[in-house]
Amino acid sequence: MAEGLTPEQVLALVPHREPFRFIDEIVELGDDHIVASYRFPEDADFYRGHFPGHPITPGVLLIEAMAQAGVVALGIHLLARESGPEEVGKVITVFTDANIEFGGLVLPGQRVVTTGRKLFFRRRKLRAEVEMKLEDGTVVSSGVLSGMGVPR
């Protein structure tokens, strides 16, 4: 097994950028899990239309945030451990499937904490059990997400 990357190095390698990066910090990173956080900005443009007068974060963006942490960032870490850090730049992770249940809302300005646990990682395909919670521990969404690394 190759040398791993630090949480800061993994975050720098996540290909998403503002305004479409939904990870502020990787809090914890191991060979089978990741914990990351993100605060949805109160002034994000999508809140103007979703829903006027009572804005909530769109579910599709919650899934994206879960995928960026639990599949993309964790996948970068696992690929670096398996094949070496130089291999990470040769692939980009694409989202392949999701089975997510929602149980709460994320309002403008709220911080979420996403935990991803590796179910399997082989042939550059990662399937992870992912859960998103508010800072108070309320579960917002949970389920299984998958992605795979493809050549750039």
Q: Which residues are catalytic?
A: 50
Neighbouring-strand partners of residue 130: 116, 143
CA atoms within 13 A on the CB side of 6: 3
Q: How far is CA 60 from the centre of its chain?
A: 12
Closest CA to 75 of 1, 30, 125: 125
Q: How many whole angstroms separate alpha carbon 135 and alpha carbon 27?
A: 13
Q: How many whole angstroms separate alpha carbon 152 and alpha carbon 60?
A: 25
- How does strand 33-39 pair with strand 25-29? antiparallel
Contact 47, 105 (CB under 8 A): no
Q: How many whole angstroms separate alpha carbon 77 and alpha carbon 8?
A: 11
